[in-house]
């Protein structure tokens, strides 16, 4: 009697395992079959965007390369004289999605430093900001509150998600305030300018191409991803899949880690137990060091690896001398929106879509970036672009 129950429970558990194993095999094989064709049906893959971003990497941006946050790739200048204001002292409002990761924290400090400069020069009076803590509803009401207050001469929005925030942004545009969107986009072009680096496809492609170039055909690659369902991250992986599909590399798997270092180290350790891992592709640099340590602790040779321009990864890269690349999602873009606000309020032209350069950091530039940022904390981003601001370096060190 009791034994039958055990048997039944065991059978049920095994049944579940086997059933899931079977059902999951099918789509993987299918994916392999269709991988040779263009996977344009993929929810997160738009061929036109992919092609455009990959092409933008090779276009020389307009503007001075010493100030990349003011450069723009193929800008279409729009007239803003309707928003011109006399006398400076404007109130600029900023609705921030969150400061919930080191990349956003770094950028937010840079933006505040830039604001200080503009306040001292009298171009901005008051700077108000709200932090929605990654909550769409909160951000919608934040934007509404700024619009209702009637005090904002310009409104900067860094949307938390694309579709949900679109109506709130449209409402803000209708109020007549010049709206500036940056980082993630929204489904409307009512904003005066939309500021962003080239994008996720370019990031993912930079990383994937580096692995293809630096690994022998037949090498194995493990992809570490943060979360499913976030467009900027999904685009990175979609581009990488596209490039890996045309290569001779064997992709061992793509794993979601939540950016948690312990999780990353577990996963990489387990893959190393099963066999060799020659390359690591990451959709963001969080926890990259934990992945490298997994190789050290397992006594395995260092992989060819792509992380991000987060200093902890770059320092480990320099220390170990491994073959690596730091793709960049330009953190200096946090400077641009406040500068754009002053330009718009002065009636100067701005690009309708302000595409900032986005260049990965290669081994040749590694030492130089680490030297510049020698005193910066490990979760700082090398291309933060604030070296010339008066608060440098204290503002970024003391966070």
User: Which residues sit at the interface with other proteins, rule CB under 8 A?
Assistant: 2-3, 5-6, 9-10, 12-14, 16-17, 20-21, 24, 98-102, 104-105, 108, 228, 253-256, 258-267, 269-271, 273-274, 286-287, 289-290, 293, 297-298, 312, 377-379, 399
Q: How far is the CB of 20 from other proteins (least distance, A)?
A: 5
Q: Which of these, 355, 356, 362, 308, lies nearest to 332 by C-alpha position?
A: 356
CB 281 within 8 Å of CB 222: yes
CB of 38 to other proteins, least distance (A): 23
Look up residue 347 and give its DSSP letter.
T
DSSP string, 278-341: -EEEESS-TTHHHHHHHHHHHTPPPPEEE--SBHHHHHHHHHHT--EEB----GGGGTHHHHHH
Cβ-based nearer residue to other proteins, 178 or 287: 287
Nearer of residues 36 and 273 to other proteins, judged by Cβ: 273
**Is the Cβ of residue 247 or residue 266 nearer to other proteins in the bound state?**
266
In angstroms, rounded to a whole number, what is the distance separating the alpha carbons of residues 171 and 259?
A: 35
Q: Quote the least distance from Cβ 314 to other proteins, whole Å.
A: 14
Angle at 336 between CA 331 and CA 337, to 5 degrees: 115
> Which of 273, 327, 319 is CA-nearest to residue 292?
319
Find the shortest distance in angstroms from Cβ 255 to other proteins.
Answer: 6
Closest distance to other proteins from the beta carbon of 80 (Å): 33
Q: Which is nearer to other proteins, 350 or 376 (CB)?
A: 376
Q: How far is the CB of 396 from other proteins (least distance, A)?
A: 10
Instruction: Please report, to the nearest 10 degrees, the dihedral formed by the alpha carbons of residues 158, 163, 164, 165 taken in order.
Output: 30
CB of 114 to other proteins, least distance (A): 17
Kindly tell me which of 263 and 348 has the beta carbon lying closer to other proteins.
263
Rounded to a whole number of angstroms, the minimum distance from the CB of residue 375 to other proteins is 12
Residue 114 or 342 with smaller CB distance to other proteins: 114
Burial group, residue 332, by CB count within 10 angstroms (0-12, 13-18, 19+): buried
Could you count the other beta carbons within 10 Å of the beta carbon of residue 161?
16
C-beta of 167 vs 377, nearer to other proteins: 377
Give the nearer residue to other proteins in terms of CB position, either 207 or 223. Answer: 223
Picking from 253, 270, 263, 271, the residue whose alpha carbon sits closest to that of residue 288 is 263
- Rounded CA-CA distance 359/192 in Å is 26
Produce one character per residue of 364-396: b if its CB has 16 or more CB atoms within 10 Å, e if not: eebeebbeebeebeebbbbbbbbeebebbbebb
Shortest approach of other proteins to residue 264 CB, angstroms?
7
Whether 155 contacts 180, CB under 8 Å: yes
CB 78, CB 114: distance < 8 Å: no
- Beta carbon nearer to other proteins, 250 or 363: 250
């Amino acid at each position: 009697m009791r034994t039958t129950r055990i048997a039944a429970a065991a059978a049920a558990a095994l049944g579940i395992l086997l059933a899931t194993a079977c059902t999951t095999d099918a789509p993987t094989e299918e994916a392999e079959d269709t991988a040779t064709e263009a996977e344009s049906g993929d929810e997160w893959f738009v061929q036109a965007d992919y092609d455009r971003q990959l092409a933008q990497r090779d276009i020389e941006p307009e503007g001075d390369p010493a100030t990349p946050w003011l450069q723009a790739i193929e800008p279409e200048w729009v007239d803003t004289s309707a928003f011109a204001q006399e006398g400076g002292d404007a109130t600029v409002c900023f609705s921030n999605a969150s400061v919930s990761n080191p990349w956003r924290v770094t950028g937010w400090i840079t933006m505040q430093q830039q604001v200080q400069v503009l306040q001292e020069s009298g171009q901005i009076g008051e700077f108000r900001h709200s932090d929605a803590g990654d909550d769409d509803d909160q951000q919608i009401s934040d934007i509404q509150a700024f619009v209702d207050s009637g005090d904002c001469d310009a409104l900067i929005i860094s949307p938390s998600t694309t579709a949900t925030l679109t109506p709130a942004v449209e409402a803000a545009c209708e109020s007549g305030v010049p709206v500036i969107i940056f980082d993630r986009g929204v489904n409307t072009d009512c904003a005066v300018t939309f500021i962003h680096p080239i994008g996720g496809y370019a990031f993912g492609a930079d990383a994937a191409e580096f692995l293809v170039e630096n690994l022998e055909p037949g090498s194995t690659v493990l992809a570490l991803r943060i979360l499913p369902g976030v467009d900027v991250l999904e685009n990175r992986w979609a581009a990488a899949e596209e490039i890996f599909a045309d290569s001779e590399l064997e992709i061992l798997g793509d794993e979601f880690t939540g950016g948690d270092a312990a999780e990353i180290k577990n996963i990489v350790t387990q893959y190393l137990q099963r066999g060799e891992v020659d390359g690591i592709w990451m959709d963001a640099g969080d926890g990259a060091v934990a992945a490298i340590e997994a190789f050290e602790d397992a006594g395995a040779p260092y992989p060819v690896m792509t992380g991000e321009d987060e200093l902890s990864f770059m320092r480990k890269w320099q220390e170990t001398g491994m073959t690596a690349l730091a793709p960049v999602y330009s953190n200096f873009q946090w400077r641009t929106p406040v500068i754009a606000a002053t330009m718009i309020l002065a009636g100067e032209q701005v690009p309708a879509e302000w595409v900032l350069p986005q260049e990965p950091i290669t081994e040749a530039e590694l030492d130089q970036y680490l030297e510049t940022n020698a005193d910066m904390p490990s979760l700082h981003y090398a291309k933060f672009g604030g070296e010339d601001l008066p608060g440098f370096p204290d503002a970024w060190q003391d966070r």
